[in-house]
A and B are shown apart, each in its own frame.
Chain A
Amino acid sequence: MRSHLALVLIPLLSGCFVDRSSINVPLEPAAVAALQPGTSTADDVTRLLGAPVEVVQLGRRSAWRYEYLLTKRAGLFLVIFGTRGTDTQADRVWVFLDEQDTVTHIGSTFDSSEAEYALPGFSSARTAGAGQGVNQ
């Protein structure tokens, strides 16, 4: 009986996989919290967070994007049928600067820890994300 069970389990488990990939480096909430709208400058932003992944010009003002993406996948392949679950979450920060390169607004989201390995039908219920804003 045990050998039969093993014979069934071995081909099933051989088709399993989990995978994790990320883009950029994780963002530190403490570094973001250290930025103060109205006083922090572009120099402070680059010193604390490094180079942004995107700079958007807004007339004489600008907005800088920092982002860390984390993707987790889990899959199962059974001869002629496969199933896969992919979950991508991000830590993201937008820093808005005025004409004098002084920080005016900061919007941040730290959701990368919410990414999970889950086959279809086994993922946890999704809740609405809440952001954090620090503004002048």
Chain B
Amino acid sequence: MRRAGPSCALLALCAGCLQGDYNEDRIHQVVSAVHVASLRPGEARLADVLALLGAPLYVVELDNGVALAFGWLDQSDWNVEAVVPVGDASMQFSYASADLQIPGLVVFLDAAYVVMRLDRGLLGDLLPQRARPKLVEDPESDGP
């Protein structure tokens, strides 16, 4: 008890100036590598992609086709924050290892819904910026 007393007192004192946390985040299910390997560019079609990988997170229109994005996250991060009084002011140190970019797979298909290529990486890097839908001209109209 003699040893526990100072430890408890120190712990209570530190509670206001030192904080740490460890977190685990899981978002969606990992796509099967075996299923991805069976999708051959030039042969596989949209039907095969949906049957093997399920519903994508995003569907994005491209100039010459469509991109399907599959993403998942299974990460842990820890954070430590210490606040130290220095004279009349206080200094704060913190560290965070969290990376909120979601990794995943993007399947690029042409206008006939045939797979052109598959890219792995961070979805934010692989997907084009959101844009307005393309203008679709009516073939029966004679122009403006």
Contacts and interface: CB of A to CB of B under 8 A. Distances in A.
A79 B131 CA distance: 48
B32 A129 contact: yes
Contacts of B28: 88-90, 111, 129
B51 A58 contact: no
Q: Which of A65, A120, A133 has the most CB of B within 10 A?
A: A133
In the A-B complex, list the 7 residue pairs whose CB atoms are closest, starting with the nearest: A131-B54, A129-B29, A133-B50, A107-B50, A133-B51, A135-B47, A109-B54
Interface residues of B, number: 45
A108 B61 contact: no
Contact of A80 (B15, B33, B111, B134): B15
Interface residues of A, number: 45
B136 interface: yes
B46 A123 contact: no
B46 A96 contact: yes
B119 to A, nearest CB: 19
B131 to A, nearest CB: 11
A130 B32 contact: yes
14 contacts: A58-B59, A58-B66, A65-B55, A79-B11, A80-B19, A83-B21, A84-B24, A85-B25, A86-B24, A107-B49, A107-B54, A108-B55, A126-B74, A133-B51
